[in-house]
Structures are given as structure tokens and as C-alpha cells.
Structure 1
Amino acid sequence: MASYLVVEPETETGDAAEKAVVLRDGFSFFAFLAPVIWFLVHRMWWEALAALALALALAALGTVAGYSAAAFIVSLCVSFLIGMEAQSWRVASLQRRGWHVWGVVEANSKDEAEIRYAAESASGPQYVRTSQRPAAAPPPVPWGSAGNPVAQRRHSTFGLIDYPRKS
């Protein structure tokens, strides 16, 4: 089963479920092959500009004597990185436009993911709005305090397991 991320727009009319986007979490082969075109298709203008500038810089590096192999390898690695992270960058782009992540759906296909999302979304939203902040975490316990069990040890441990020792 694959994981699909559901992203909904912020709407006040209540039709967010109809406009939701279901994205497969994983490698994007088209983003690997043609990253600039993939970014432009998904209206990610700044990312497309950055990918184009990087591609042109690597192409210029490839024309320098002795750096052609290095430029090819770096270009291949950058394309692989873009293919791996393309969907998460798309989610980040949608979040900058006011969308929010509804949740993750596991399914065998995109159609099945949309059906599962429709069934789940009928029960209400499954997300925490970004305007609501979670409660602050308690402050960390100082290492030298009496309540810290690590500070109460008398012997140092060099291995993974510290057996109780007789004092």
C-alpha cells in the first residue's frame, strides 16, 4: 500500500473536500526527468526558477575542462533529490497559499485514496489548524538534579547495557 497525502484549501463555503488534492507520497519520475517543467506545471514559480538557475550553472560547469564528469554526477544527484522531494515541496507550496494538510490515507491507488478520504472527511476535519499552537513542553530536567536517574549513577557505562552493581 502507498501513502497519499490529502491537502485541502481554506474555504468558508464548506466545499474543501471537493477541492482537496490527493498526492502520492514517494518518488516523482517526471520531476526527476524534467524538474523545471514539473515545477511550472504545478505553478511553483520560484522553485522552477531555482531549478533552472542550478541546471544552467551545472551546464556551465560541464563546459569547463576536467569538470564534465563531476557536473554530470552532481546534476544527476540534484535531479534525484528533486524527484524524491518534489511532492513535499508541492505540499509546502500549497501551504504557503493557505491550504492545510488534512492527513494521510493509505491505499493501493489514487482512486481508492480519494474514496477513503471521502469516507473519512464525512466525519469532520482531522487536522490541527496552524493558528492553534500546542501547549508548550515542560522545561528539561537539569543533568545535575537529584530527580534525574542518570545523575544518581556512581559508575560510568562504556557499553550499551549497565548492569546493576553492588556498592
Structure 2
Amino acid sequence: MTSSYLVLTAPGGTDSNHEKTRFIRDGFTILGFLFPWIWLAFHRLWLHAIAAFLLQSLGGALADRADLWPVGVAITFGTSLLVALEGQNLRIRNLVAKGWDEADLVSADSLQTAEEIYFSNVRTDTGDSRPAPSPQWDPTAHAPRHGNATSLGLFGFDGGR
């Protein structure tokens, strides 16, 4: 399943080897659902972590009462669901507020694939002013061969059958 990854670059530009470049997947976080306030605190979203802790504590206290347990369960579940769905967005907004730049949006199946796609489009500075060597193209090596090659009974590229 394809996910979207937002690429963020560090404040003040990127470093030469792009170690500070961050890829954040936009989507549901299972750990954010299971441990909402711990997940928020781990990502240094302190105020959101405190709010999630207080809401889950309130939900737990209401769930202990016999007449208010549905409300308590709803508050606890709602807090977990909200963090799971919007936690990554909170991380992105926090980093952008600190000066990080949104460089790109990449659609890929995994983080490794997203990194390969992004870094394949990034120009790298080799340090010298000479252009990078390019392979020599031999047009005769890749020229179409004419003959009676068939394409499963369909018309071939050479126009014949």
C-alpha cells in the first residue's frame, strides 16, 4: 500500500550528506493509538502529551463509575484515535514552526523507497567544477532489428506481421 512521506529539511539549509533530512509518513500510527501520551512525549510534543494524559486520566476515572463508563471509554478511545490520526500532522506543524522547510512530498511503499526517490532527484555537489562524466551513447547498439520477429501474432514495431 502506497503512503505519502513529507520530506523536511533542517533550518538554515541542508547539510552536505543530508543526515538532518527527515521523512515523516502521513497516516495512521499504531503506537500513537496504543500509547497516545507516551508517543506524543517521545516526539517532544509536550503540551499535547500533557493534554492527552489528562484526557485519558479523566476517561479512566469516568470509566470506573458504573453510570458513566460509556463516557469514560469514549473519551479514552477518542483521545487515542485523535492522536493516531493527527499525531504525524502535529509533528510536522511543530517542526515547521521551528524553521524546518517542507521540501517535497513523496509517494512510496516504504521509507527506504521514499528516500531513494527523493535522493535520486537531489543534485549533489562533488566539489570540483568539472561536469560529471556521462556514458557514451552508441545508437547502433540499440537500433531496432528488422526481421520476422512476432509480437504474439500482433503487429510488430517494424510495421510487419
Could you tell me the TM-score, scaled by structure 2's length? 0.69
Question: For residues 73-152 of structure 1, what are the structure 2 equivalents within 5 Å?
Answer: 73-122=74-123
| Counterpart residue identity of residue 17, structure 1 | H
In the alignment, is residue 35 of structure 1 matched against residue 50 of structure 2? no
Between the two proteins, what is the percent identity of the paired residues? 33
| Counterpart residue identity of residue 3, structure 2 | A
In the alignment, is residue 71 of structure 1 matched against residue 68 of structure 2? no
Q: Distance in 2 between matches of 1:53 and 1:34?
A: 13
Q: What residue number does 1:17 align with?
A: 18
Q: Deviations over 1:29-74 (max 9, x none)?
A: 0000001111121111111111111111222222333111221123
Alignment CA distance shift 1:35-1:10 (3 Å)? same
Q: Which one has the largest radius of gyration?
A: 2
> Does the residue aligned with 2:103 lie in a helix, a strand or coil?
strand
Structure 2, gaps ≥5 residues long: 125-161
Q: Distance in 2 between matches of 1:79 and 1:121?
A: 37
* Over 3 Å off, 4+ runs: 12-17
Alignment CA distance shift 1:15-1:40 (3 Å)? farther
Q: Distance in 2 between matches of 1:53 and 1:63?
A: 16
Give the length in aligned residue pairs: 123
Q: What residue number does 2:143 align with?
A: none
> Does the residue aligned with 1:27 lie in a helix, a strand or coil?
coil
CA-based RMSD:
1.9
Structure 1, gaps ≥5 residues long: 124-167
Alignment CA distance shift 1:13-1:121 (3 Å)? closer
